[in-house]
Amino acid sequence: MVTALSERSGVGVVQIAILESLALPGRRHKANARTLRQVEDRTGLAPIYAYPVLVDLALPWKVPVMLVDGQGNYGGFGYDPPADFEYTESRLTPAGQVVLSAEHGDLAPVPIGFINGNTYSGGTRPPFRPLPVIDAIRAVIRRPRISNRDVIDIIGPPDFLTGCAVTGDFAALAAGRPVDLQLRANLTISDDQKEVVIENIPPNSGMDEVTQNIISRIQRNKRNYTDPDSCSHPRQATGLDILDIRDLSNPHHVYGRLMCKPAAGTPPEILRDQLSGVRGVRTTMHVALRRPLPIMIRQWVRANQTEDLSASLAALETAIRSQPRRPN
């Protein structure tokens, strides 16, 4: 598969071919079967391989700046797959149009590839919040001598889109060293103080995985109570004191919402701490930047200093602000 990135947008060749094929007058939706046939003509990549690339560009838990607006069943967070491409349609988002304008030379380059990263497709470049990246670029343009520390502070840590908590050595990452980040779902106590709420699942996990891992440990708990040889301290071995688990996900909680009821005598605070160690609730992601973060920003500005970056950044910012707000 072709993996080269465009110098004008940081977007991959296959992604650009998809955007080119969606460039229709009037921003009409177009059948994905037709789009993918044109992508195959441009790149040689069969529809079965190009379709996941197209879908990724339309999902808010995949990329911070969505380049495609999908119509039809594009799947859900976790393991809910999209419908076959014969039954879905798509069109360019305003940001997708900005990317094409940059590719065609109608606008100066835009830092989409830097913002979106590629961890969603198995790479190591993490995504960052779009508007702070634009602010950092503008700061470097206005004040070339701005400190590296200030550039890093403006951009902030990676943003993994689902709202999960992210911890790790951000300083090492910003310095260009590979690091392992810890991603964790949001764990809170319900308003009635009777249940633990799990929300904002990490993007490299999924509600299906988390639910199954919790259920398997509940079942293991039950087995340990009936098997005296399994462990001398069964609760310590399994670590979950759950009476019931309910999936309350809905369109307002696209990244999942689980309610876990503690077993009798177990305070919800104890169960919350136990759940924090469940695989999928807490995950690890290996990330790396090719160069230190402020150097990447400075080099990008220098490489494009002869073009009107103010116009392209303004167009990109407007397109980003027009995106639907991320669901909780």
**Average pLDDT rounded to a whole number, residues 251-267:** 85
Distance CA 316, CA 314 (A): 5
Q: What is the mean pLDDT of the chain?
A: 90
Q: What pLDDT band is residue 249 in, cutting at 50, 70 and 90?
A: confident
pLDDT tens readout for residues 46-84: 999 999 999 999 999 999 999 999 999 998 887 788 999
Find where tokens 């602010």 sit: 135
Is residue 284 classed as helix, strand or coil in its secondary structure? strand
Judged by average pLDDT, the poorest of 21-30, 71-80, 221-230 is 221-230
Ranges in the chain annotated CATH 3.90.199.10: 1-164+304-328
| Residue 236 burial (CB count, 10 A) | 9
pTM for the model stands at 0.88
Distance CA 317, CA 194 (A): 43
| DSSP designation for 157 | S
Q: What pLDDT band is residue 239 in, cutting at 50, 70 and 90?
A: low
**Average pLDDT rounded to a whole number, residues 156-165:** 93
Distance CA 23, CA 96 (A): 9
Alpha helix (H) ranges present in the chain?
Answer: 13-21, 32-43, 47-56, 94-103, 112-116, 130-142, 148-155, 170-174, 207-226, 234-238, 268-275, 293-303, 309-321
Instruction: Give the Cα-Cα-Cα angle 19, 104, 318 (nearest 5 degrees).
Output: 70
**Average pLDDT rounded to a whole number, residues 37-52:** 96
Is residue 285 classed as helix, strand or coil in its secondary structure? strand
pLDDT of residue 252: 62
Is residue 261 classed as helix, strand or coil in its secondary structure? strand
Q: What pLDDT band is residue 253 in, cutting at 50, 70 and 90?
A: low
pLDDT of residue 145: 96
195: pLDDT strictly greater than 70: yes
Percentage above 70 pLDDT, the chain = 89
CATH number of 186-280: 3.30.1360.40
CATH topology of domain 1-164+304-328: Topoisomerase II; domain 5 (3.90.199)
pLDDT tens readout for residues 132-154: 999 999 999 999 999 999 999 99
Find where tokens 């072709």 sit: 2
328: pLDDT strictly greater than 60: no
Q: What pLDDT band is residue 206 in, cutting at 50, 70 and 90?
A: confident
pLDDT of residue 234: 39
pLDDT of residue 219: 67
**Average pLDDT rounded to a whole number, residues 255-273:** 92
Ranges in the chain annotated CATH 3.30.1360.40: 186-280
Distance CA 245, CA 266 (A): 15
Of 267, 78, 61, 281, the residue nearest 186 (C-alpha): 281
235: pLDDT strictly greater than 50: no
Token code pair at residue 283: 């995950």
